[in-house]
Structure 1
């Protein structure tokens, strides 16, 4: 989850079609939870352009680990600084409708409320084959999701950010947030 505030410029050629831009894309979408031996994961990324300074970005990841443990982490880039959230409380995790809401806190006093909504025509369902080839499972993704953040800084300042299509959300497995 490094450099979620990165900008990508250049050209991509795919199936004879070229896509060019400056920037062409935002953030790092190279998460590593896609190991096919996981029972569940939730991942999201959002990019919020700002007229008053550098963009704000958020990347969040929750997945199961061995021995019943669960990895939880969110990284916010805001006002040019990185804030790492390890205390992440899931409010809603709706696999069917691809909606994920959570609250997170840092040791330094930042509070974050995040809502990702992947419903709509860009939501798609993919079948992943298990690593041991014993079957498959469904992964739901939307790379044009909406996202909303409410950031409360230690000094009490509150910033609210919203994007209609600048979010990405992905879920696999059906473990409920109350079980995590």
Structure 2
């Protein structure tokens, strides 16, 4: 298998998607941020001094989808048709799972946009909570599923969904 962002001589290049058909494409990514119990409870209660942590992180994640091509070399600029960022509290682990879903009708996928949304949302949570907890840990940023395009659909196997173990890749 040859990576698509390298030519025969091994030089990096932007993939030409001009001849590809436009199709509906969706990508879902997730990640998590673990906090000290005090910081976690403050986020849940909306008591962080900087304000609505998850509201700001949601906007940051959505805005990040539109900036992905400026951050990741060789990504195509895309006209995103929809982006959602959702948060799920895990009281037992004092962590917040971040899920981003990005949609487009276009010639290339939106996996990088979904992953960027999760990453920036997590970094925003860190920024807004660092006065209380500098030891927060961002982890498990990964593509969960994608649909559309020539490569077909992808869905992460259910057994790899355990947040305490790393996914083993072939």
**What is the TM-score normalised by the length of structure 1?**
0.31
Q: Which has the higher helix share?
A: 2
Q: Which has the higher strand share?
A: 1
**What is the TM-score normalised by the length of structure 2?**
0.32
